[in-house]
Structure 1
Amino acid sequence: MDQSGIVLLGPQRRPGLDKVVAGLQLDGPFATITAGWQEREVADSELQEHLGGRAVNLALWSRRQEILDRDPDFAAAHRARQAELSDMQELYQIGVSHTSRAITELREQTERSSRSREFALRDAEEVLRSLDRRHLERVRDIDAEFYDLTRPHEHPLIAAHRAEVAQVLAQTEAVVIAGGHVAELLDALHLFNVVPAGLDRLPIIAWSAGAMVLTERVVLFNDNAIRGPRPPEVYDDGLALLRDTVVLPSAHKRLHMNNTDRMSLLARRFAPALCVPLDPGARVDVPADGALPAGTPVIGTSGGLSCVVTAPPAEESIDG
């Protein structure tokens, strides 16, 4: 395997991790990250079995919980930030939902001239992209304010945990990142500075939320939500180890993949990033530069499935 390449897998409901590891000729030791499982983080016996018992769980969620329990000032600031981010996410989602409905309505104006309708659609899609950009900028501002205020590196307990995480990574051959709750996983990864601690220098195997957090921006999506389809929404910066990529785990289960208008909008909205469906059985081997390799299935701007033709990815690299 490439020294710091990434293997993206589909959801591991029927785990085949042991075969992936064997095929990559990785002997371990491994570091595992299961923070997305939250309180079940260390219930990882099956994962350990697939890694031949040669893995150390970084226990990032448990470490974070210990900090929140033992450092009341940091915990209070963390709660305040999470509350503000939650409010902002919900308000942003309202704007995205209204704009998405407007785009649907514009598409239905078939009695209008095609040129006028196309102009209106382009304008509405640009509004959507603008909402995404501004939301992400504000999330970054809130995160920066939080870290400036709390200065985690000056908290002895946080500094000690960061040092322990870095030490484990320094003795690791590869890292395995499981799925679960993407927000909890991402928060823990950022708190413990896993990228500068060495994650970017190691081979990574990841799936579901674990794959999502490796991208430059994490996009949430669910066309089959209980209250009806929700337009995709930008959540936060990811770890930026994958370039120009939006990862969509269980895409055929969670997206209306047969709705070409909806999928076309998804692809155009996040371009030049490419939207990669990761369904059960999927596998994408990404080289060290973080660019998707040729042949990677993606959702094309026509709304159908296509493949990456060249790397690095760009809009014109989609066939159809």
Structure 2
Amino acid sequence: MTRGVLLGPQRLHPIVDKAADMLGIDGRIAAVTAGWQEREAEDQELCAALGNRAVNLMLHARAETAFREDPELFAAHRAKQDRLRQLQDLYRLRLASHLKAARRVQQAQAPRDLIESELEEAVQAIRLLDAHHVVKTQHIQKDFDRKVKPLERPAVVKQLKEIEAILAGCAGVAIAGGHVAVLYNRLRLFDLGPRLADLPIIAWSAGAMVVSSRIVLFHDSPPQGRGNAEVLEGGLGLFPGVVPLPHARRRLNLQDPGRITVFARRFAPATCVALDERCFIHFEGPRWSAGTNTFQLRTDGHLVALH
């Protein structure tokens, strides 16, 4: 039974200490800051927020060391990532037309019952595309695992033994945000999903995204490109049933009921949860509850408090 607390951004108003108290973590906490990439070791503020009991797993640095020691692994991993990026580009092309169709149906001049029926069909087409994309990414990942066998390679085994030794002395895990794809790839390279499942987990921002069942990238008004929410990969699946949306108020147009409707219906039956500052979801196995001022994007286009 995986226990954990998923949080919104922690830079301005950190509540990781309160999350640790909620989970009753009494002891050292393994920190994952791989999403910060080269700044991974700059964890002084995080350590202070956790009562100076954090031990950084240094997953980004460990992966870089493994890649240096095993050039074949590095080349294969880079080829896999290139293929995933190419797949993502193709998925985006198809997704754009699907989302455009759904929005045009919403705006059509026709009886409400006809619009509702056709909108459901349009959203279902998006769901099927998302599911297809996740399956394709899983095939690429599994093909890499089958051919390269990263967990059997000495460079990875050496790092993994050290990681497991640290985890054995920890009472919980804290997964910070940053670059979501890098964070997910480092966790996956060392197969940490099942290794973390028995420890209480605190995760925020990109960290909250990667531990869910679907990593959903979203920004309604990005600096460049279309503002279409897209699925990256399937995630670690440690906390199913929710779609964590960090920085929701900054990245989503929550004043547009039509966009909220399509977004929420697309990912249903999972609950789309806006995780802004001081917001949280507390998991005790499959059951979860939300903190004060933590909101859900509903399929009727409304934003409602979960608490």
What TM-score, normalized to structure 1?
Answer: 0.90
Counterpart position of 2:138: 140
Residues 281 and 290 in structure 2, CA contact (< 8 A), matched pair in contact too:
no
Q: 2: CA distance between counterparts of 1:291 and 1:221?
A: 26
Counterpart position of 2:286: 290
Q: 2: CA distance between counterparts of 1:4 and 1:268?
A: 27
Describe the superposition over 1:58-90 as per-residue Cα deviations: whole angstroms up to 9, x where unpaired.
000111111122211111111111111101101
Tell me whether 1:215 sits opposite 2:217 in the alignment.
no
Counterpart position of 1:114: 112
Greater relative contact order, per chain length (Cα 8 Å cut-off, separation 6+) = 2
2:53 counterpart letter in structure 1: R
Q: CA RMSD in A?
A: 1.8
Counterpart position of 2:245: 248
Counterpart position of 2:6: 8
Q: 2: CA distance between counterparts of 1:79 and 1:229?
A: 26
| 1:194 corresponds to which of 192, 195, 198 | 192
Q: 2: CA distance between counterparts of 1:158 and 1:228?
A: 37
Counterpart position of 1:299: 297
- Quote the offset at 1:193 in angstroms: 1.4
Matches within 5 A, 1:199-278: 199-227=196-224, 229-278=226-275
Aligned length in residues: 304
What TM-score, normalized to structure 2?
Answer: 0.93
- Quote the offset at 1:196 in angstroms: 2.6
Gaps of 5+ in 2: none
Matches within 5 A, 1:14-163: 14=12, 15-22=14-21, 24-110=23-109, 112-163=110-161
Q: 2: CA distance between counterparts of 1:122 and 1:23?
A: 39
- Quote the offset at 1:18 in angstroms: 3.3
Secondary structure of residue in 2 paired with 1:248? strand
Q: 1: CA distance between counterparts of 2:2 and 2:116?
A: 43
Counterpart position of 2:182: 184
Residues 241 and 290 in structure 1, CA contact (< 8 A), matched pair in contact too:
no
Gaps of 5+ in 1: 310-320
Q: How many percent identity over aligned positions?
A: 40
- Greater shift, 169-178 or 298-307, is seen at 298-307
Residues 251 and 279 in structure 1, CA contact (< 8 A), matched pair in contact too:
yes
Q: 2: CA distance between counterparts of 1:151 and 1:224?
A: 40
1:124 counterpart letter in structure 2: A
Residues 29 and 55 in structure 1, CA contact (< 8 A), matched pair in contact too:
yes
